Amino acid sequence: MIEGPGHIPINQIEKNVKIAIKWCNDAPLYFLGPLVSDIAIGWDDVCGAIGAAMAGYFGVSLLCAVGPTEHIGLPNDDDIKRECVVFNIVKHSINIAKGFKDEIERDKNLSIARKNFDWEKQFLFSIDPEYAREKFCKLNKNKQEFCSMCGEEFCAMRNTKKGLFKC
């Protein structure tokens, strides 16, 4: 296995991946993130996710999940859960871009559930169903046919349905 760099600006990720692939003779290529900036202390998981999505798309075989406490201390359980969720989102995004049918189908199923306001299916297909359900219940009094983002009056899905099915 070949290990690549961990800190790379966005504009240099593709070049670094291609150079590493060229020199690793088909050995699995592993990148540490990479972090696209060093200013996000406490938010390195976000910088790492940006770099990892790009590196994965350009051909890295294995990504190192980066947590929010990277470089400042040891992670607690919440930090570890957060980095696992964030990097599962990265993996899913890469796999969609690479045409993995199961990942594309999962995304499609969630989109259909969102369109139909089927909250339980949305939770089921989400990366972190427990968190999604907990957040939903905290922000919404009931499971109506609109989301809390736009509200009943401005919900694009709801208004599109009303507009399409007027008789």
Parse the chain into domains and list their residue ranges.
2-98, 102-164
The whole-angstrom separation of Cα 34 and Cα 55 is 8
**Beta-carbon contacts of residue 166 (< 8 Å; ≥ 6 apart):** none
pLDDT digits (tens, 9 = 90+) for 60-92: 999 889 999 999 999 999 999 999 999 999 999
Q: For residue 153, what are the CA distances in angstroms to 89, 130, 163? A: 31, 28, 13
CB 40 within 8 A of CB 49: no
- In contact, 34 and 6? CB cutoff 8 Å: yes
What is the band of 150 on the pLDDT scale with cuts at 50, 70, 90? low
pLDDT exceeds cutoff 80 at 155: no
Residues 6 or more apart whose Cβ sits within 8 Å of residue 46? 40, 86
The pLDDT of residue 33 is 86
